[in-house]
Amino acid sequence: MSALLTFTDDGIYCPEGDFYIDPWRPVDRALITHGHADHARDGMRRYLATDLAAPVMRHRLGEISLETLRYGERREIGGVTVSFHPAGHVPGSAQIRVERGGEVWVASGDYKLEDDGLSTPFEPVPCHAFITESTFGLPVFKWRPQAEIAEAMNAWWRGNAAEGRASIIGVYALGKAQRLMRMLDPSIGPILTHGAIENTNAVLRAQGIALPPTLRVTPDLVARDHPGAMVLATPSALGTHWPRRFGPAQTALASGWMGLRGVRRRRAADRGFIISDHADWAALNTAIAATGAERVFVTHGYTSIFSRWLSEQGYDAAIVQTAYEGESLDDPDPATGEEAEKAQGTQSPAAAP
C-alpha cells in the first residue's frame, strides 16, 4: 500500500483520495490550506477549502469551482477522510488532516501558535506524520508577545504624529495588515490603506471580521487632510514613489525577518517591527512535539538545518522540495498585493530595491 501522502512535482498528493494539497501546477482536485498566493494558485479544476478562507480565494482567483468545509468537519474522498483544523496563520487558514484506517497525516501549510486576535487560533492535531514549514526554523528567531509589539508600534506612531510626520508600514495585504490594524490604537490618528490592502479589508469585513475604520489611499487623497496618519502599504510600495504623497514620514517594515539586523539595514526602512504569521523556533518545536508524530516532513524554509535538528531530537525527519515561500520581503504581485515574488531557493529573505 502506498504512503498516505506523497510528494510529487505538482504538489503534495494523496493517491488513495486522488487529490492534491496546495499544488503549484494545475490539477483536477486541490485542497487548499489558505489563501496566500503560493498555496492557493489558479488553474485547478476543483477547490476545497475552509468556509473562512473561501471569500479571499474567490476574490483572488475569480470564478472557481470551490467547495467549503467548516473547521473539524469531516469529508470522505476516495478511501480517505479529510478535515481542516485551525493553523492560526491568517483568517481561514488550516492544517489539513488526512486519515486512512487509523493512520493520520497532517499537512500544516503555514502556521503560528500565538493567538493574533484575528485568525482562529492554532490547534494541535495528533498524527503519525506531520508536514511542517520551517520559514523561521533557526534558534535565532524568537518572537516577543504581540502586546509588546503593539505597544512599540503605537509609541512609534504617537511620536511621529507628535512631530507632524506620517507613519508608513510595509506589510502583507492578507493577514498581517489586518492583524496590525487590530493592534493599532485608533485614538492616535487615522489609518490609511494602500488599495491592495483595502481590497482585502473589504472581503474580510464582508465575511464578518471586525476591523477598525480605514481610508483607502486614492490618487486624489490629500495627505495634509490626514495629519499624523498611519499608512499601511504593501512592502513593494515602500520602494517606489508611492509614499512621497504623505510628505515627511517615517517608514517601517513588519516582518519576522526584521529580527536580523543585516536585513533590517539593507531594507533601509527607519524601523523594523519583528512580527510574523509564522512560528518561531520555539513554536515550531512545540507544535511538532504536540502532534506526537514520529515522522516529520520539512517543506519550505531552513529545511536542511531544521530537519537535521529534528533527526537529532529523535524524529524520523526528511526534507521535501516544494514551491512554497514562507514569509518573503520580495515584491508582492501588483495585481493582488499578496503574492511574493518567487524566492530563489528557500532560505533567504531576499530584498526589494
Partner 1 sequence: MKRFAALFTRLDQTTRTNLKVAALADYFREAADADRVWTIALLSGRRPKRTVTTTLLRRWAAEQAGIPLWLFEESYPIVGDLAETIALILPPPEAVSDAPLTHWISQIGALASLPEEERRARVLDAWSRLEPTERFVFNKLITGGFRMGVSQKLMTRALSQATGIEESDLAHRLMGDWRPGETSFEALILAPDPSADLSKPYPFYLAYQLDGTPDALGAPGAWFAERKWDGIRGQLVLRGGACFVWSRGEELITDRFPEFAPLADALPAGTVIDGEILAWKEEAPMAFAALQKRLGRKTVPAKLLADAPAILYAYDLLEEGGTDIRALPFAERRARLERLVGNAVRDTDLPLRLSPEVPFADWDALATERARARALAAEGVMLKRRDSPYRDGRRKGDWWKWKVDPLSIDAVLIYAQQGHGRRANLFTDFTFGVWSGNQLVPFTKAYSGLTDAEFRKITAWVRKNTLERYGPVRHVTPHHVFEIGFEGIQKSPRHKSGVALRFPRMLRWRHDKPLQEANSLADLEAILAAYGGKTT
Helix (H, G, I), strand (E, B) or coil at 170: strand
Among 262, 292, 316, 334, binds partner 1 (CB under 8 A): 262
Question: C-beta of 263: minimal distance to partner 1 in Å?
Answer: 7
Q: Is 65 in the site for partner 1 (CB under 8 A)?
A: no
Instruction: With beta carbons less than 8 A apart as the criterion, state whether 297 and 108 touch.
Output: no
19-21/12-14 β-pairing: antiparallel
Q: Report the nearest approach of partner 1 to the CB of residue 69 (Å).
A: 37
Q: Which residues of 306-343 are buried (b: 16+ CB within 10 A; e: fewer)?
A: bbebbeeeebebebbebbbbbbbbbbbbeebbbbbeeb
Residue 205 binds partner 1 (CB under 8 A):
no
Binds partner 1 by CB under 8 A, chosen from 132, 291, 328, 347? 347
Of 245 and 308, which CB lies nearer to partner 1 in the complex structure? Answer: 308
CA dist 27 and 231 (Å) reads 39
259 binds partner 1 (CB under 8 A): yes
Tell which one of 9, 101, 265, 334 touches partner 1 (CB under 8 A): 265
**What letter does residue 132 receive in the DSSP assignment?**
E
Per CB under 8 A, 348 contacts partner 1 = yes
Strand, helix or coil for residue 174: coil
Contact 16, 77 (CB under 8 A): no
Instruction: Report how far residue 267's alpha carbon sits from residue 262's, in angstroms, rounded to the nearest whole number.
Output: 9
Q: Indicate which single residue of 155, 266, 311, 334 sits in contact with partner 1 (rule: CB under 8 A).
A: 266
- The answer to whether residue 337 forms part of the interface with partner 1 (CB under 8 A) is no
Binding mask 131-170 for partner 1 (x = CB under 8 A): -------xxxxx----------------------------
What's the min distance (Å) between Cβ of 10 and partner 1? 20
Return the CA Rg of the chain: 20
**Nearest distance in Å: CB 343, partner 1:** 8
Q: Which residues are at the interface with partner 1 (CB under 8 A)? A: 138-142, 259-266, 268, 270-271, 302, 305, 308-309, 312, 344-345, 347-351, 353
